Amino acid sequence: MAEPRLDAFQVIADASRRQMLMMLSKNSLTINSLAENFDMSRPAVSKHIKILQSAGFISITDKGRERHCALRKEGFDALNEWLRYFDQFWESKLKTLENLLNDKLKTKN
């Protein structure tokens, strides 16, 4: 079954997924060792992991019988993208404000 594709903010809005990411920010872990830390069923853990993977936050590599999860940069790029978007947004809006106020000064003098 296909999981709904969530955006970066929806992905980290979930406390369990945030905790998973926090753990992976320290070390890459197998799905089994990750699951041990959570009081939920294996399918529930797998579902969260799939969501993290499809949003680009983690990668999963098969090593022998084990599946290893590690952080990926892409998920965080999406968050940075929002910040960049607003940074540029404000910069251009404030430029317009500056021009407006300067024009006002000119007409007054």
Sole window of 29-37, 41-49, 60-68, 73-81 interacting with other proteins (rule: CB under 8 A): 73-81
**Nearest distance from residue 65's CB to other proteins, in Å?**
25
**Nearest distance from residue 59's CB to other proteins, in Å?**
13
* 4 contributes a contact to other proteins by CB under 8 A: no
Among 64, 91, 106, 107, binds other proteins (CB under 8 A): 91
DSSP for 13-46, written as a single string: TSHHHHHHHHHHHH--EEHHHHHTTSSS-HHHHH
Query: What span, in angstroms and rounded, lies between the C-alpha atoms of 43 and 66?
Result: 16
* 104 contributes a contact to other proteins by CB under 8 A: yes
Query: What span, in angstroms and rounded, lies between the C-alpha atoms of 105 and 37?
Result: 63
